[in-house]
Amino acid sequence: MLAAEARLLECFEQLRLQLNREAFLGLFDLELHYAAYPVGTGYARHLDQPRGNGRRKVSMVLYLNREWTPAMGGELRLFGEAEPPTDVQPLAGRLVCFWTEGREHCVLPARKERLSISGWFGTRD
| CATH number where 112 lies | 2.60.120.620
Is 10 contained in some domain?
A: no
pTM of the model: 0.93
**Domain span holding position 36:** 30-122
Is 62 contained in some domain?
A: yes
3-state secondary structure 22-78: HHCCCCCEEEEEEEEECCCCCEEEECCCCCCCCCEEEEEEEECCCCCCHHHECCEEE
The string of pLDDT tens digits covering residues 7-44 is 999 999 999 999 999 999 999 999 999 999 999 999 99
Is 23 contained in some domain?
A: no
